[in-house]
Amino acid sequence: MKKAYRIKRNEEFQRIFNAGKSFANRELVIYYIKKNHQTHFRVGLSVGKKIGNAVMRNQIKRYLREAFISLEDKINPDLDIIIIARNPTINMDYHQIKRSLSHLLHKENLFIHEKR
């Protein structure tokens, strides 16, 4: 995922947490905010220290980034999205994480072809 498509600054995270909408399943929590006139969605990832060691946390973040890359053409470009991984992600592989992410995005109608 290109660096321009990532949310890194704490101020941006806080703005999305405070003004955005959230929803979750057992594995992931998603916060998002609609941002008009944006050419591509942006993503921020958060995996807390309670989830495994550094190697495990980095692996989960790699899986999430790769899942976003594979779903890139389906996701609405007017969004800033933050993903927070929960404890069950420790035991998940890439395909399970991608399925969980797709389920959440579909449930909240964040894909392009779906009506809002």
| Series of mean pLDDT values for 10-residue runs along the chain (116 residues) | 84 94 94 89 94 95 94 90 95 95 92 62
Range of the domain at 98: 3-40+59-107
Domain annotation covers residue 115 = no
Contact present, 86 and 22 (Cβ < 8 Å): no
Q: What is the pLDDT of residue 33?
A: 94
Q: What is the pLDDT of residue 2?
A: 77
Domain annotation covers residue 22 = yes
Q: What is the pLDDT of residue 35?
A: 87
Q: What is the pLDDT of residue 38?
A: 85
Q: Residue 89 maps to which CATH number?
A: 3.30.230.10
Model confidence, pTM: 0.89
Domain annotation covers residue 95 = yes
Q: Are strands 42-47 and 79-85 parallel, antiparallel or unpaired?
A: parallel
Q: What is the pLDDT of residue 113?
A: 65
Domain annotation covers residue 114 = no
For the chain, the domain total comes to 1
Domain annotation covers residue 71 = yes
Domain annotation covers residue 81 = yes
CA pair distance 79, 97, nearest whole angstrom: 20
Domain annotation covers residue 53 = no
